Amino acid sequence: MSTAPARLFERPWMRWTIAVVIVALAVVLPLVFPAFTNQTLARIGVFAVAVLGLNVVMGYAGQVSLGQIFFVGLGAYVTAYGVTQNWNIALVFVLSVLIPGVVGLVVALAAARLGGLAIAMVTIALPIVGVPLAKRLSEFTGGSQGLSAIFAKAPTWSGLYDDQWQLYLVLLIGGITFLLTRNLVHGKYGRAFAIVKGNQAVAGSMGVSPYRFKVLAFTVASLIGGVSGFLYMVVVQYTSPETMSFGSSITLLASMVIGGAASILGSVLGGAYYVLVPQLTNAINPNLTAVLQGVILLAVLFILPGGLVSLPRTIRRLWTRTRRGGNPSPPTQAASRQADLAEGSPTERQGQA
Protein backbone atom coordinates (compact mmCIF):
# COMPACT_ATOMS: atom_id res chain seq x y z
CA MET A 1 0.00 0.00 0.00
CA SER A 2 2.69 2.41 1.04
CA THR A 3 4.76 1.61 -2.03
CA ALA A 4 2.04 2.65 -4.47
CA PRO A 5 2.67 6.39 -4.30
CA ALA A 6 6.41 5.78 -4.43
CA ARG A 7 5.95 3.78 -7.64
CA LEU A 8 3.80 6.53 -9.04
CA PHE A 9 6.63 9.03 -8.57
CA GLU A 10 9.07 6.76 -10.34
CA ARG A 11 7.13 6.70 -13.59
CA PRO A 12 8.76 8.80 -16.28
CA TRP A 13 5.62 10.72 -17.24
CA MET A 14 5.02 11.64 -13.61
CA ARG A 15 8.58 12.88 -13.30
CA TRP A 16 8.17 14.98 -16.42
CA THR A 17 4.97 16.44 -15.07
CA ILE A 18 6.69 17.37 -11.83
CA ALA A 19 9.61 18.89 -13.72
CA VAL A 20 7.28 20.91 -15.94
CA VAL A 21 5.24 22.12 -12.98
CA ILE A 22 8.39 23.15 -11.09
CA VAL A 23 9.71 25.05 -14.10
CA ALA A 24 6.32 26.71 -14.63
CA LEU A 25 6.19 27.72 -10.98
CA ALA A 26 9.75 29.01 -11.14
CA VAL A 27 8.81 31.17 -14.09
CA VAL A 28 5.50 32.45 -12.77
CA LEU A 29 5.85 32.75 -9.01
CA PRO A 30 8.52 35.49 -8.96
CA LEU A 31 6.02 37.67 -10.81
CA VAL A 32 3.42 37.12 -8.12
CA PHE A 33 5.39 37.26 -4.89
CA PRO A 34 6.08 40.49 -3.00
CA ALA A 35 9.62 41.84 -3.21
CA PHE A 36 10.76 40.60 0.19
CA THR A 37 9.67 37.02 -0.60
CA ASN A 38 11.60 37.12 -3.86
CA GLN A 39 14.67 38.50 -2.13
CA THR A 40 14.46 35.82 0.54
CA LEU A 41 14.02 33.08 -2.06
CA ALA A 42 17.01 34.42 -3.98
CA ARG A 43 19.15 34.30 -0.84
CA ILE A 44 17.97 30.74 -0.19
CA GLY A 45 19.09 29.92 -3.73
CA VAL A 46 22.54 31.38 -3.10
CA PHE A 47 23.12 29.32 0.03
CA ALA A 48 21.43 26.22 -1.39
CA VAL A 49 24.16 26.23 -4.06
CA ALA A 50 26.84 26.72 -1.37
CA VAL A 51 25.41 23.79 0.63
CA LEU A 52 25.24 21.72 -2.55
CA GLY A 53 28.99 22.18 -3.03
CA LEU A 54 29.61 21.13 0.54
CA ASN A 55 27.35 18.14 -0.02
CA VAL A 56 29.48 16.93 -2.92
CA VAL A 57 32.63 16.81 -0.85
CA MET A 58 31.11 15.85 2.52
CA GLY A 59 27.77 14.21 1.87
CA TYR A 60 28.72 12.19 -1.19
CA ALA A 61 32.50 11.74 -0.93
CA GLY A 62 32.60 11.71 2.87
CA GLN A 63 35.50 14.18 3.33
CA VAL A 64 35.04 16.68 6.14
CA SER A 65 35.35 20.23 4.82
CA LEU A 66 35.05 23.25 7.09
CA GLY A 67 36.21 25.72 4.50
CA GLN A 68 33.38 25.90 1.98
CA ILE A 69 32.57 29.53 2.84
CA PHE A 70 36.08 30.49 1.72
CA PHE A 71 35.26 29.51 -1.85
CA VAL A 72 31.95 31.35 -1.68
CA GLY A 73 33.78 34.44 -0.45
CA LEU A 74 36.50 34.05 -3.09
CA GLY A 75 33.88 33.81 -5.83
CA ALA A 76 32.15 36.88 -4.44
CA TYR A 77 35.39 38.86 -4.35
CA VAL A 78 36.34 37.85 -7.89
CA THR A 79 32.89 38.94 -9.05
CA ALA A 80 33.02 42.22 -7.18
CA TYR A 81 36.52 43.00 -8.44
CA GLY A 82 35.65 42.12 -12.03
CA VAL A 83 32.51 44.26 -11.95
CA THR A 84 34.34 47.27 -10.51
CA GLN A 85 36.96 46.88 -13.27
CA ASN A 86 34.14 46.85 -15.87
CA TRP A 87 35.01 43.44 -17.22
CA ASN A 88 32.48 41.60 -19.37
CA ILE A 89 29.99 39.94 -17.05
CA ALA A 90 30.28 36.55 -18.79
CA LEU A 91 34.04 36.65 -18.24
CA VAL A 92 33.47 37.67 -14.63
CA PHE A 93 31.19 34.68 -14.14
CA VAL A 94 33.68 32.25 -15.66
CA LEU A 95 36.52 33.65 -13.52
CA SER A 96 34.42 33.66 -10.37
CA VAL A 97 33.91 29.92 -10.86
CA LEU A 98 37.34 28.98 -12.20
CA ILE A 99 39.52 30.83 -9.70
CA PRO A 100 37.95 29.18 -6.63
CA GLY A 101 38.09 25.90 -8.58
CA VAL A 102 41.82 26.24 -9.19
CA VAL A 103 42.49 27.25 -5.59
CA GLY A 104 40.36 24.31 -4.45
CA LEU A 105 42.30 21.97 -6.72
CA VAL A 106 45.66 23.16 -5.39
CA VAL A 107 44.52 22.83 -1.79
CA ALA A 108 43.00 19.42 -2.48
CA LEU A 109 46.16 18.09 -4.16
CA ALA A 110 47.91 18.58 -0.83
CA ALA A 111 45.03 17.96 1.56
CA ALA A 112 43.64 14.79 -0.02
CA ARG A 113 46.88 12.97 0.75
CA LEU A 114 45.94 13.28 4.39
CA GLY A 115 43.30 11.13 5.97
CA GLY A 116 40.14 11.84 7.93
CA LEU A 117 40.43 14.68 10.41
CA ALA A 118 43.65 16.02 8.91
CA ILE A 119 41.68 17.18 5.86
CA ALA A 120 39.25 18.92 8.18
CA MET A 121 42.14 20.75 9.83
CA VAL A 122 43.50 21.94 6.48
CA THR A 123 40.07 23.20 5.43
CA ILE A 124 39.64 25.04 8.76
CA ALA A 125 42.67 27.07 7.78
CA LEU A 126 40.98 28.45 4.65
CA PRO A 127 38.46 30.85 6.22
CA ILE A 128 40.91 31.64 9.03
CA VAL A 129 43.50 32.72 6.46
CA GLY A 130 40.88 34.20 4.15
CA VAL A 131 39.58 36.92 6.47
CA PRO A 132 42.93 38.63 7.24
CA LEU A 133 44.00 38.14 3.63
CA ALA A 134 40.89 39.94 2.42
CA LYS A 135 41.60 42.77 4.84
CA ARG A 136 45.22 43.02 3.78
CA LEU A 137 44.86 42.89 0.00
CA SER A 138 42.85 46.07 0.12
CA GLU A 139 43.60 47.18 -3.44
CA PHE A 140 41.66 44.14 -4.67
CA THR A 141 39.21 43.64 -1.85
CA GLY A 142 38.50 47.11 -0.50
CA GLY A 143 39.95 46.05 2.87
CA SER A 144 37.62 45.91 5.83
CA GLN A 145 35.24 48.34 4.11
CA GLY A 146 34.46 45.70 1.52
CA LEU A 147 33.35 46.00 -2.09
CA SER A 148 30.00 46.91 -3.54
CA ALA A 149 29.10 45.79 -7.03
CA ILE A 150 25.70 46.48 -8.50
CA PHE A 151 25.40 44.74 -11.84
CA ALA A 152 22.19 42.74 -11.55
CA LYS A 153 19.67 45.48 -12.12
CA ALA A 154 16.76 44.36 -14.29
CA PRO A 155 17.30 45.52 -17.88
CA THR A 156 14.56 47.86 -19.09
CA TRP A 157 13.44 45.59 -21.93
CA SER A 158 12.44 42.91 -19.41
CA GLY A 159 9.97 45.17 -17.62
CA LEU A 160 10.83 43.33 -14.38
CA TYR A 161 11.59 44.62 -10.93
CA ASP A 162 15.18 44.15 -9.73
CA ASP A 163 14.21 41.51 -7.19
CA GLN A 164 12.39 39.49 -9.87
CA TRP A 165 15.32 39.70 -12.25
CA GLN A 166 17.76 38.65 -9.52
CA LEU A 167 15.60 35.71 -8.52
CA TYR A 168 15.40 34.58 -12.16
CA LEU A 169 19.19 34.75 -12.43
CA VAL A 170 19.55 32.70 -9.26
CA LEU A 171 16.96 30.18 -10.43
CA LEU A 172 18.59 29.81 -13.82
CA ILE A 173 22.23 29.60 -12.76
CA GLY A 174 21.44 27.73 -9.55
CA GLY A 175 19.08 25.39 -11.41
CA ILE A 176 21.74 24.49 -13.99
CA THR A 177 24.29 23.93 -11.20
CA PHE A 178 21.88 21.63 -9.39
CA LEU A 179 21.09 19.70 -12.56
CA LEU A 180 24.76 19.20 -13.44
CA THR A 181 25.61 18.17 -9.88
CA ARG A 182 22.68 15.75 -9.77
CA ASN A 183 23.91 14.11 -12.96
CA LEU A 184 27.42 13.93 -11.56
CA VAL A 185 26.50 12.27 -8.29
CA HIS A 186 23.96 9.90 -9.84
CA GLY A 187 26.38 8.63 -12.44
CA LYS A 188 29.59 6.62 -12.21
CA TYR A 189 31.33 9.42 -10.33
CA GLY A 190 28.61 9.30 -7.70
CA ARG A 191 29.15 5.57 -7.28
CA ALA A 192 32.89 6.14 -7.02
CA PHE A 193 32.34 8.85 -4.38
CA ALA A 194 30.11 6.47 -2.42
CA ILE A 195 32.77 3.76 -2.42
CA VAL A 196 35.46 6.23 -1.36
CA LYS A 197 33.17 7.38 1.40
CA GLY A 198 32.35 3.83 2.48
CA ASN A 199 35.78 2.24 2.49
CA GLN A 200 38.91 3.52 0.83
CA ALA A 201 40.61 0.13 0.82
CA VAL A 202 37.65 -1.39 -1.02
CA ALA A 203 37.69 1.53 -3.43
CA GLY A 204 41.35 0.93 -4.18
CA SER A 205 40.77 -2.77 -4.74
CA MET A 206 38.04 -1.94 -7.25
CA GLY A 207 40.29 0.31 -9.27
CA VAL A 208 38.81 3.54 -7.89
CA SER A 209 41.66 5.76 -6.71
CA PRO A 210 40.54 7.37 -3.44
CA TYR A 211 43.07 10.19 -3.90
CA ARG A 212 41.84 11.12 -7.37
CA PHE A 213 38.20 11.11 -6.36
CA LYS A 214 38.83 13.06 -3.19
CA VAL A 215 40.62 15.72 -5.24
CA LEU A 216 37.80 15.65 -7.76
CA ALA A 217 35.10 16.04 -5.11
CA PHE A 218 36.98 18.86 -3.46
CA THR A 219 37.51 20.68 -6.75
CA VAL A 220 33.87 20.32 -7.76
CA ALA A 221 32.85 21.67 -4.34
CA SER A 222 35.09 24.72 -4.85
CA LEU A 223 33.70 25.32 -8.35
CA ILE A 224 30.17 25.20 -6.96
CA GLY A 225 31.31 27.48 -4.12
CA GLY A 226 32.44 29.93 -6.79
CA VAL A 227 29.02 29.80 -8.48
CA SER A 228 27.46 30.50 -5.09
CA GLY A 229 29.83 33.45 -4.63
CA PHE A 230 28.78 34.91 -7.97
CA LEU A 231 25.12 34.54 -7.03
CA TYR A 232 25.89 36.09 -3.63
CA MET A 233 26.98 39.23 -5.46
CA VAL A 234 23.89 39.12 -7.68
CA VAL A 235 21.67 39.11 -4.62
CA VAL A 236 23.57 40.82 -1.78
CA GLN A 237 25.66 43.11 -4.05
CA TYR A 238 28.26 43.62 -1.36
CA THR A 239 31.06 41.57 0.10
CA SER A 240 33.50 42.12 2.94
CA PRO A 241 35.89 39.94 4.95
CA GLU A 242 32.93 38.97 7.18
CA THR A 243 31.43 37.09 4.21
CA MET A 244 33.97 34.31 4.70
CA SER A 245 34.01 34.25 8.49
CA PHE A 246 34.62 30.90 10.11
CA GLY A 247 31.25 31.10 11.90
CA SER A 248 29.44 31.20 8.57
CA SER A 249 31.37 28.13 7.45
CA ILE A 250 30.17 26.21 10.49
CA THR A 251 26.59 27.38 9.93
CA LEU A 252 26.88 26.19 6.35
CA LEU A 253 27.99 22.78 7.60
CA ALA A 254 25.12 22.64 10.09
CA SER A 255 22.73 23.59 7.28
CA MET A 256 23.97 20.71 5.16
CA VAL A 257 23.49 18.20 7.97
CA ILE A 258 20.07 19.62 8.82
CA GLY A 259 18.94 19.66 5.20
CA GLY A 260 20.14 16.11 4.65
CA ALA A 261 23.62 14.88 3.81
CA ALA A 262 24.12 13.33 0.36
CA SER A 263 20.84 14.63 -0.96
CA ILE A 264 20.10 17.10 -3.72
CA LEU A 265 16.79 18.15 -2.22
CA GLY A 266 18.52 18.29 1.18
CA SER A 267 20.83 21.00 -0.21
CA VAL A 268 17.83 23.18 -1.03
CA LEU A 269 16.41 22.58 2.44
CA GLY A 270 19.84 23.39 3.89
CA GLY A 271 19.89 26.71 2.03
CA ALA A 272 16.42 27.44 3.34
CA TYR A 273 17.57 26.64 6.87
CA TYR A 274 20.62 28.92 6.52
CA VAL A 275 18.48 31.88 5.48
CA LEU A 276 15.17 31.34 7.25
CA VAL A 277 16.26 30.36 10.75
CA PRO A 278 17.96 33.71 11.50
CA GLN A 279 14.82 35.42 10.19
CA LEU A 280 12.59 33.18 12.26
CA THR A 281 14.60 33.64 15.47
CA ASN A 282 14.65 37.39 14.88
CA ALA A 283 10.88 37.31 14.69
CA ILE A 284 10.66 35.46 18.01
CA ASN A 285 13.20 37.52 19.96
CA PRO A 286 16.14 39.36 18.40
CA ASN A 287 18.06 39.21 21.68
CA LEU A 288 18.01 35.42 21.85
CA THR A 289 18.85 34.47 18.25
CA ALA A 290 21.97 32.49 19.09
CA VAL A 291 20.22 30.44 21.79
CA LEU A 292 17.13 29.81 19.66
CA GLN A 293 19.24 28.73 16.70
CA GLY A 294 21.01 26.23 18.94
CA VAL A 295 17.68 24.89 20.20
CA ILE A 296 16.33 24.50 16.67
CA LEU A 297 19.51 22.75 15.55
CA LEU A 298 19.31 20.26 18.41
CA ALA A 299 15.59 19.73 17.98
CA VAL A 300 15.84 18.97 14.26
CA LEU A 301 18.76 16.60 14.70
CA PHE A 302 17.04 14.85 17.59
CA ILE A 303 13.75 14.35 15.78
CA LEU A 304 15.13 13.92 12.27
CA PRO A 305 18.69 12.58 12.45
CA GLY A 306 18.65 12.12 8.68
CA GLY A 307 17.92 15.80 8.15
CA LEU A 308 14.82 17.58 6.96
CA VAL A 309 14.86 15.58 3.77
CA SER A 310 14.00 12.45 5.74
CA LEU A 311 10.79 14.02 7.05
CA PRO A 312 8.46 12.33 4.51
CA ARG A 313 10.10 8.98 5.18
CA THR A 314 9.76 9.42 8.94
CA ILE A 315 6.12 10.39 8.57
CA ARG A 316 5.45 7.43 6.29
CA ARG A 317 7.13 5.11 8.77
CA LEU A 318 5.10 6.46 11.66
CA TRP A 319 1.97 6.25 9.57
CA THR A 320 2.49 2.62 8.59
CA ARG A 321 3.41 1.77 12.16
CA THR A 322 0.25 3.28 13.60
CA ARG A 323 -1.83 1.59 10.89
CA ARG A 324 -0.21 -1.74 11.54
CA GLY A 325 -0.40 -1.06 15.26
CA GLY A 326 -4.15 -1.77 15.10
CA ASN A 327 -3.43 -5.08 13.42
CA PRO A 328 -2.69 -7.77 16.03
CA SER A 329 -0.50 -10.05 13.89
CA PRO A 330 3.08 -9.76 15.28
CA PRO A 331 5.33 -10.50 12.27
CA THR A 332 4.21 -7.37 10.39
CA GLN A 333 6.37 -5.16 12.61
CA ALA A 334 9.55 -6.79 11.41
CA ALA A 335 8.26 -6.81 7.86
CA SER A 336 7.52 -3.10 7.96
CA ARG A 337 10.97 -2.41 9.33
CA GLN A 338 12.44 -4.36 6.47
CA ALA A 339 10.30 -2.41 4.04
CA ASP A 340 11.57 0.78 5.62
CA LEU A 341 15.14 -0.31 5.14
CA ALA A 342 14.51 -1.23 1.54
CA GLU A 343 12.89 2.11 0.91
CA GLY A 344 15.39 4.00 2.95
CA SER A 345 18.62 2.81 1.44
CA PRO A 346 18.40 4.38 -2.00
CA THR A 347 17.25 7.69 -0.55
CA GLU A 348 20.09 7.75 1.90
CA ARG A 349 22.65 7.15 -0.75
CA GLN A 350 21.29 9.04 -3.67
CA GLY A 351 18.55 11.26 -2.40
CA GLN A 352 15.92 10.97 -5.11
CA ALA A 353 14.98 14.55 -5.64
Partner 1 sequence: MNMRRRVKGVLGVVAVTSAIALTLAGCSRGGDDASGSSAPSPGITDTTVTLGITTPLSGATAGPGTCTVAGITAYFGAKNAAGGVKFGDGKTRKVEIKSLDDGYDPQKAAANYQQLKDSVFAMTAGLGTPTNRAWREAAISDKVPQVLVMTGDPIFSDQKQSPWQLGFVPIYQNEGEAFGKLLASSSAPHKVAILSQNDDYGKGYVEGFMAGIKGASNITVVKELTYEATDTSVDAQLTELASTGADVFFNAMSITPLVISSLNKAQSLGWKPSWFLPSNTSSPGAILQKANDVSVYPGIYSVAFSKAAASPAFANDEDMKTFLSDLKKYANYPDTPEFPHCAWSYMVGATLDQAFQKMTSPTRDDFMKALRSISDYQAPLMLPDTAVDTTKDGSPAVSTVLVQKYNGKGYATVTTWQ
| Interface pick for partner 1 out of 62, 75, 190, 241 (rule CB under 8 A) | 241
CB half-sphere exposure, 304, CA atoms < 13 A: 19
Q: Does residue 105 belong to the site contacting partner 1 (CB under 8 A)?
A: no
Instruction: Please choose, from the candidates 258, 225, 263, the residue with its C-alpha nearest in 3D space to the C-alpha of residue 244.
Output: 225
Residue 55 DSSP symbol: I
Contact between residue 65 and residue 218 where contact means Cβ atoms under 8 Å apart: yes
Separation of alpha carbons 177 and 184, rounded Å: 10
Which CB sits closer to partner 1, 100 or 146? 146
Which CB sits closer to partner 1, 193 or 232? 232
Residue 107 Cβ vs partner 1, minimum distance, rounded to whole Å:
20
Contact between residue 130 and residue 73 where contact means Cβ atoms under 8 Å apart: yes
Residue 34 Cβ vs partner 1, minimum distance, rounded to whole Å:
7
Residue 124 Cβ vs partner 1, minimum distance, rounded to whole Å:
16
Q: Does residue 228 belong to the site contacting partner 1 (CB under 8 A)?
A: no
Q: Does residue 137 belong to the site contacting partner 1 (CB under 8 A)?
A: no
Q: Does residue 157 belong to the site contacting partner 1 (CB under 8 A)?
A: no
Residue 253 Cβ vs partner 1, minimum distance, rounded to whole Å:
16
Separation of alpha carbons 10 and 295, rounded Å: 37
Residue 267 Cβ vs partner 1, minimum distance, rounded to whole Å:
18
Instruction: Please choose, from the candidates 210, 236, 243, the residue with its C-alpha nearest in 3D space to the C-alpha of residue 134.
Output: 243
Label residue 123 exposed, middle or buried (CB < 10 Å: 0-12, 13-18, 19+). Answer: buried
Binding segment for partner 1 among 14-22, 206-214, 265-273, 338-346 (CB under 8 A)? Answer: 14-22
Q: Does residue 295 belong to the site contacting partner 1 (CB under 8 A)?
A: no
Task: Give, as ranges, the residues between 70 and 99 that touch partner 1 (CB under 8 A).
Answer: none
Q: Does residue 158 belong to the site contacting partner 1 (CB under 8 A)?
A: no
The C-alpha angle 2, 52, 19, rounded to 5 degrees, equals 50
Instruction: Please choose, from the candidates 9, 5, 101, the residue with its C-alpha nearest in 3D space to the C-alpha of residue 57.
Output: 101
Contact between residue 147 and residue 80 where contact means Cβ atoms under 8 Å apart: yes
How many residues bind partner 1, per CB under 8 A?
50
Which CB sits closer to partner 1, 162 or 343? 162
Residue 145 DSSP symbol: G
Which CB sits closer to partner 1, 145 or 158? 145
Which CB sits closer to partner 1, 46 or 208? 46
Q: Does residue 150 belong to the site contacting partner 1 (CB under 8 A)?
A: yes
Contact between residue 214 and residue 63 where contact means Cβ atoms under 8 Å apart: yes
Contact between residue 23 and residue 155 where contact means Cβ atoms under 8 Å apart: no
- Rounded to 10 deg, the angle between the 289-303 and 246-259 helix axes is 30
| Interface pick for partner 1 out of 2, 84, 148, 332 (rule CB under 8 A) | 148
Q: Does residue 130 belong to the site contacting partner 1 (CB under 8 A)?
A: no
| Interface pick for partner 1 out of 4, 36, 86, 157 (rule CB under 8 A) | 36
Separation of alpha carbons 146 and 140, rounded Å: 10
Separation of alpha carbons 155 and 165, rounded Å: 8
Which CB sits closer to partner 1, 136 or 323? 136
Which CB sits closer to partner 1, 43 or 182? 43
Q: Does residue 336 belong to the site contacting partner 1 (CB under 8 A)?
A: no
Strands 147-148 and 238-239: antiparallel
| Alpha-helix residue ranges (DSSP H) falling in 33-88 | 35-54, 68-84
Q: Does residue 284 belong to the site contacting partner 1 (CB under 8 A)?
A: no
Site string for partner 1, 164-203 (x = CB under 8 A): ----------------------------------------
The binding site for partner 1 (CB under 8 A) comprises: 13, 16-17, 20-21, 24-25, 28-29, 31-36, 39-40, 43, 132, 135-136, 138, 143-146, 148, 150, 161, 232, 236-243, 245, 247-248, 275, 278-279, 281-282, 286-287, 289-290
